[in-house]
Amino acid sequence: MGHPVILVTMTTAPLRKDAARNWRRIVEIGRQHVDDGMPIQLNDVARAAAVGVATVYRHFPTPEALLETVATPGLEALVAHAEQALAGNDPWAALRDFLLTVVDAQITDPALPPVFAAPVNALPHTAELKQRLVELSGRLLDRAHGAGVADPEVTKADMLPLMCGVIFAATVHQDAAAARASTARRYLTVLLEGLRKTPD
């Protein structure tokens, strides 16, 4: 399944047509490298994109900047899903469906796990999206707590390591992407059963 490519540049100035075309080609090659499990090396990307090395470095000064750009559509989709979940009427279903979506995204988009795990972000937009996800997921958990449907002892600080544990457990012994996705959803369902409470 292909991944959308969006035009996010290192500056706010619009790109000329040729520069925009080069940008898109570089991001497409970066996407291919990530999907194929290859590390992003900017010199290799330049060669595969048939552009000069200086052109690549002008758009993306580090491999991390290119990786984060590749991951941006996935991050934005998760933010949109969380915002939509908050608009729902069922606090438990909203939290459950959002966490399932996060797990599915991290299993199916190999650009997301390293970006989520990185302690430092190369692009301000990445930092904004990650912070927004933390805020939205916290609000979803708070709402579930308020409705009495989530264990109050499970805090927002607990959720990230718990989700990382699900992803790790699903990927450590699974080769096929479909098997990893199915296993991740099964493990997350077990976690959710432990998190869920019946309202008083």
Residue 18: count of CB within 10 angstroms of its CB: 9
Average pLDDT, the chain: 90
Range scoring the smallest mean pLDDT among 57-71, 107-121, 162-176: 162-176
What are the structural domains, with CATH classification, of the chain?
A: 71-195 (1.10.357.10)
- pLDDT, one tens digit per residue, over 131-170 is 999 999 999 999 999 999 999 999 999 988 898 889 888 8
CA 175, 185, 76, 56: dihedral to nearest 10 degrees?
-10
Amino acid (one-letter) located at 78: L
Q: What is the pTM of this model?
A: 0.85
* 2 or 87, which is more confident: 87
Q: 18: helix, coil or strand?
A: helix
Which percentage of the chain shows pLDDT scores above 90? 76
- What's the pLDDT at 3? 54
pLDDT category at 6 given cuts 50, 70, 90 is very low
Asked whether residue 174 carries a pLDDT value surpassing 80, the answer given is: no
pLDDT category at 14 given cuts 50, 70, 90 is low
